[in-house]
Amino acid sequence: MNTQISRDDEGYLLNPDDWDKDIASELAKEEDIELDASHWTVLDFMRDYYAEHGVVPDVRHVVKHLASENECDKKEAKNIIFKLFPYGYVKQACKIAGMKHPRAWSTG
């Protein structure tokens, strides 16, 4: 990974604007995740949300988006997130999407 990219002790980017898809792929490899189209649906939504709102999207926003994209209920959408990111939304999805660690969240 680019040594110019600043990360915290847990591997999250310190500046989400440093993120690009190559960095996402490297971060995913560190998490033993091979990104596919389903992962990119989540990551692209997260990045778009961040660009529009300036904050990391809460998992409920991602669940709502996935439910709409997959024409399923929210419970199934939540299951999709955990299939894609088995160690959780904060631990893996937020990290791979280049978000700062959402310190106020205790789950996911």
> What pLDDT digit, counting tens, does each position of 24-71 carry?
999 999 999 999 999 999 999 999 999 999 989 999 999 999 999 999
Is residue 92 over pLDDT 50? yes
**What domains sit in the chain, N to C, each tagged with a CATH number?**
16-96 (1.10.10.370)
Task: Specify the pTM.
Answer: 0.89
- The 8-class DSSP code of residue 99 comes to P
Is residue 107 over pLDDT 70? no
What is the model's pLDDT at position 106?
Answer: 44
Which residue has better confidence, 89 or 108?
89
Is residue 101 over pLDDT 90? no
Quickly list DSSP for 29-85.
HHTT----HHHHHHHHHHHHHHHHHSSPPPHHHHHHHHHHHHT--HHHHHHHHHHHS
Pair of tokens at residue 38:
């389903």
Pair of tokens at residue 108:
């996911």
Burial zone of 39 (CB within 10 Å; 0-12 exposed, 13-18 middle, 19+ buried): buried
